[in-house]
Amino acid sequence: MGAGDDELRVDTTGLRAAYLAEGREPLLSPGGARALRGLVVAVAAVLGLAALRGADAVAHLVGVGAFGLGGELLARALDRTTRITPTHLDVRPAGRRRVVAWDDVRELVPPGRLGDGGHALLADGTAVPLPHVPREDVERLTAALAAAREEHRTGAADGEAAGG
């Protein structure tokens, strides 16, 4: 058995590989979002330097700061996705990427009726949101995760019985 054979694998058949806003690709790829952030920072730096030379430097810096913050918020808002693979969750809730192995997921909680999103509860006690994953798919994924855990447990027990 190789090192990667002990990894929990979930059957994702019938589920989408990526859950995006209204099923559409984001306007910007992760690389595009980084480029937008870089552009905003560069423009803000140039405007900030120009503002420092004028009498209204404070007013200019406040405007530049608001522009920079707006660009960052826009880039984060455009990058809310959940990707599901047989070995892990790849979640990007508002710009922060988190990759979580299925072994670390303790429970999947579907979205509530009041519009709160679903989330994954992790072994370390934290929760990771699951942007754009509908209730039905969270429930199917919960069943697939339970089946994978049972298969993994029985496979480990069979391996121990055969080995010793």
Listed by start position, the domains of the chain span 38-161
pLDDT value at residue 120 = 94
**DSSP designation for 116:** P
Average pLDDT over residues 4-21: 80
Lowest-pLDDT range of 9-13, 63-67, 116-120: 63-67
With cut-offs at 50, 70 and 90, classify the pLDDT of residue 1. Answer: very low
pLDDT value at residue 32 = 67
Whether the CB-CB separation of 55 and 61 falls below 8 Å is answered with no
Q: Going by C-beta distance under 8 Å and a sequence separation of 6 or more, which residues neighbour residue 139?
A: 110
Lowest-pLDDT range of 8-12, 26-30, 111-115, 117-121: 26-30
Res 147 pLDDT > 80: yes
Whether the CB-CB separation of 118 and 135 falls below 8 Å is answered with yes
**Which residue matches tokens 């855990």?**
149
More confident residue, 126 or 162: 126
User: Residue 77 — left, alpha, or beta (φ > 0 → left; ψ -120 to 50 → alpha)?
Assistant: alpha
pLDDT value at residue 39 = 75
Note the helical H segments in 78-117. none
Distance (Å, whole) CA 163 – CA 152: 16
